[in-house]
Chains A and B, each alone.
Chain A
Amino acid sequence: MGLLSDPNRRKALINLLTRLNAPICGMCYIAGIVWFMGLAFEPFILRTYMSESAMGSTMVEERFSGGERALLTAKEFGVQKNKAGGMPVDWLVETMKARGLEVYTQTFSRKLPFPDENKERFMVKGTNVYGIFRAPRTPRTESLVLSAQCSEENDNNQAVGLLLVMAQYLRNQVYWAKDIIFLVNEHDQIGMHAWLEGYHNTNTTGMDYSPLQGRAGAIQAALSLELSSDVVTSLDIVFEGLNGQLPNLDFVNLFNAFCQKIGVLCTIQGKLQRNDWDSTSGYSHAVQTMMLMMLKQASGSSWGDHGLFLRYHVEAITIKGINSHRQYKTDATTVGRLLEGMFRKLNNLLERLHQSYFFYLLPSLSHMAPISYFMPAFGLIAVILLLRALDLWAQITAPPATQDGVADVEQQSSTSVLSVLTPVVISHLTGVALYTLPVRFQEIAVEHFPVSETEAVVLTAIAVYTAGLALPHNTHRFVSGEGTEQGWKVLKLVAVLHLSVLLGCTALLNFSLGFILALTLVPVAAGVTPHAPKLPTAVILVVLSPACILLFSVFVFHELQETPLSFQDGWLLFLSVISQGILDHTLYGSLVFPLVALLVYPCWLLFWNILFWK
């Protein structure tokens, strides 16, 4: 308590921090970036290991041999699908029944707020079919899910075929202690969302679905399968879920362990494991993998059907078969054996997966940076905001404290409070407009302009965003006349503290999003003053604004995936990413769009406001 009660020591510390503020801030920023880059360097981070003892020590022998049959079933499924012109519900029900499952169906329908141009859908109607295999050995209180989506084209037939053959095979084993649900969902994530809401009897997004007739126990883990060719060269694991939630690391480890055991090539973010961490290319490979993961996580949308399970506290991953030009091919039997092995291990679980980490970054499948490793990188950058706040506070409360530490707090007149409050309120109202107007005004926009509904939504969002730049920095002058020197300092103090709380909370919920925002917004927030040269600073501010960050992220993401974009394509993709963000919010309850519209953007507007303070 000496620091807080002894005025002399306290003053010395504050003096030190205010005098050296700029260098300390600069150092913190660089240290934060260096720390972050260190997270992909293998000697600095941990090897992955299986924490869950129930899955670690038990031996499993895989005997699945129905790969050929799976491909035949897949072909038949494809034929039936073409005949039915969609999901062959009756055929699936018959086939599942013939394999001895309890079969149920669920119908659902959903009208999207505006047409989804990527997937070409607006009014979605569909049916989920699922069969439950009741566990012979226990009172059926727990269950596992294996799911495959039935998509429009012929690109997931092999997964459905394998699922059906697996169902038949697994039913003949005696050691199952958990029910297994085999689910074929239509319309990818919308169907999965309907099924999960039905299963847990909730309705968070206003979807129409028929209630489920049959349930198994509480779902412990789920695996969704995507296979689009008869043979695969490698299996890719997708684990980033809704709102940046990740499954327990043990599930990822389990996949990795079985791939090693069976000898299947496994990739993460589409990238193979490399062992040459000490070479530059090896290290940059790890950095790229980690950054891809961060960009996917920061997007807050679900990157596969598994992502929606995570909300219900169910650990889930998607396994995606990839067929490239490599020599070495893996057939469906091997994939089936992998699934069998993983399900056997999951079957051994005595409680939910909880032993390993939930917060991690993976630069490769064999190495991970847990929360205690990556949080300091964020902390170093976020502390800049607190240092700036301290500096501003010291400036505001100047003239300097008298000898005995009595802070001479000058009571700011009420006009100062008003001139600070006005921009804050107006910025947030602009945020509310950005959040509500695009979807509300699409009909009017379509009537008056030659655009489609989706374009109308995206363009309205961009228009509101741009209009926000013009609006707020003039407003406080109408209320309180000239802004004072003290005024912008108080406003900046408020804005800096606002941003620090916002980034802290975001980083806890979704580290990647928090870190990317901190990396880009903190330098702006720390540096901006009304005395800076207007034009260059304004350009920097706009370049580091949330929308531009999104645009850059789109380019960087494709650069990292080794599919570079032309500017034209990048721009179109940027527009579609915005519409996807809004759709994800209304369909599944993703929080990134409201977070950016209601909090990050208004906060950024405050700094814009400070720059044009007069």
Chain B
Amino acid sequence: MATPLSLLLIVAVTIRAALFRSTLAHLIAERVEVTSPLTAWKRVVEGLALLDLGVSPYAGDVFHETPLIIYIFHFLVDYAEVTFMLADVMVAVALYYAVRDYNKQVFRKQKFALEADRYPADCHELVRSPAEMHYVPLKVAMFYLLNPFTVLSCVAKSTCGLNNAVVSLFILSTVKGNVLLSAIFLALATYQSIYPLTLCAAALLYLMQRQFIPINACRLSFWWFVAQYAFMYLGSLFVMVGLSFFLLGSWDFLPAVYGFILSVPDLTPNIGLFWYFFAEMFEHFRLFFLCVFQINVFIYTVPLSIKLKEHPVFLIFMQLAIMAIFKSYPTVGDVSLYMAFLPVWSHLSRFLRNVSLVSFVLLTCSALFPVLWHLWIYAGSANANFYYATTLIFNLAQILLMCDYFYAFLRREHHLVHGLYPKRKDGSEATLVLK
């Protein structure tokens, strides 16, 4: 298994290295779909220049990355290309091992269920075989590394790649059952971009399942574990924030990073939903809608955690997708992270209904983004509405994709309990309809 993975890594690195050397790299780095004000490499360079001059990098409202990033690149700025390629490789390898481990567990669980004869008789079509699961981890790594979105993001040196690396390390350590590392990486991810906070619930659910702690609010062991995890998480978060303060000598970074993410002052167009809406809005509604939009990212955690408490890894996938769609400065790099998980759910394909439609719409939108951008910004003949319409359709397609997977997952679970071919009361075949 290691040979195909290393071959894949070589191919991926070659593509990236070739693109870094071509004239396209500069063009790609300018695309608003690939870099946001948070993640643009240009801004990191600006921050570094300010730091070298002895000025706070956050003076001047250009740089919005966390202090850790700037201190890392303080040493690595000459090796930036290598760093970004390594980050992508790290994501792929971490996801590869995480998914392999997860699949083993799924298979073990399925074996127990089969031995206990828990599945209905007509559900054997739904049982997953080791043969089909064998290549899933490799496919995950391939979906991440060869996804054009990831390649673009890496070639643009968007720091989104580093955030993805942290998140994938968190997923790996969680799946491996390492509580401390999981908490630390989650804290690091939160420190980087706040939103991964929502992954907390999924991590807790997973770790408790693994340690056979009942998920029951009346039990002391439940609360004890939550407290332990919260302590580790908050502790490491506190250490990171404190460290940033001591490195920088001021609290400038709090408003410049987290205030910037939460209050969305930069309305540069991107593939998200915020910019147009807030550009059009009357100023006195701004705070209200800001709260509505930001709560939107977090609010789904509660119902999804309740519904998917048995399936925390699927919950992580859903949360990543929600973040990529609803966060304030999304880029295609965020999209590529959750898309890497699609092969894990390949066994749902028989229940998926709109994937062909959705993938066509996503492809069309990806082609339309640069065209409409050109018409709006360079030719001056179209306007912002054209571009925003594409953004809306792009996000709609993503939501549809997510809903489709969610529905398919639940439906499979339903069939595993109630049988694949449900009968009506009168004995005829029933149809399941989502209304």
Contact = CB atoms under 8 A, between A and B. Distances in A.
Interface of A: 2, 4-8, 10, 245-246, 310-311, 313, 352, 354, 358-359, 389, 393, 403-409, 411, 497, 501, 504-505, 508-509
A405 B364 contact: no
Contacts of B434: 5-6
B378 interface: yes
B372 A5 contact: no
A311 B379 CA distance: 6
Contacts of A311: 378-379
B353 interface: yes
Contacts of B430: 404
B367 A407 contact: no
B364 A406 contact: no
Contacts, number: 73
Interface in B399-435: 400, 407, 429-435
Given A7-B353, A409-B352, 13 more contacts: A8-B433, A358-B380, A358-B382, A406-B350, A407-B350, A409-B350, A411-B349, A504-B367, A508-B372, A508-B375, A508-B382, A509-B374, A509-B375
B433 A7 contact: yes
8 smallest A-B Cβ distances: which pairs? A358-B381, A404-B431, A5-B434, A313-B380, A505-B371, A403-B429, A501-B367, A409-B349
Contacts of A352: 380
Interface residues of B, number: 30
A384 to B, nearest CB: 16
A429 B380 CA distance: 33
Contact of A4 (B349, B354, B367, B381): B354
Contact of B353 (A4, A246, A389, A408): A4
Contacts of B22: none
Contacts of B379: 245, 310-311, 313, 358
Contacts of B68: none
Contacts of A5: 353, 407, 433-435
Interface string B175-202: 0000000000000000000000000000
Contacts of B72: none
A245 B353 contact: no
Interface in B217-239: none
A354 B431 CA distance: 55
B9 to A, nearest CB: 20
Given A245-B381, A406-B350, A509-B374, A501 B363 contact: yes
B420 to A, nearest CB: 9
Contacts of B400: 4
A406 B351 contact: yes
Contacts of B356: 393
A403 B431 contact: yes
Given A359-B381, A407-B350, A504 B432 contact: no
Nearest to A245: B379
Contact of A407 (B353, B360, B429, B433): B353
A426 to B, nearest CB: 19
B368 interface: yes
Contacts of A10: 353
Nearest to A404: B431
A310 B382 CA distance: 14
A497 B354 CA distance: 16
A509 B371 contact: yes
Given A313-B380, A358-B381, A508-B371, A404 B364 contact: no
A564 to B, nearest CB: 35
Contacts of B349: 409, 411
A504 B432 CA distance: 37
Contacts of B371: 505, 508-509
10 contacts: A5-B407, A5-B433, A7-B431, A8-B431, A311-B379, A501-B364, A504-B364, A505-B371, A508-B368, A509-B375
Contacts of A508: 368, 371-372, 375, 382
Nearest to A2: B435
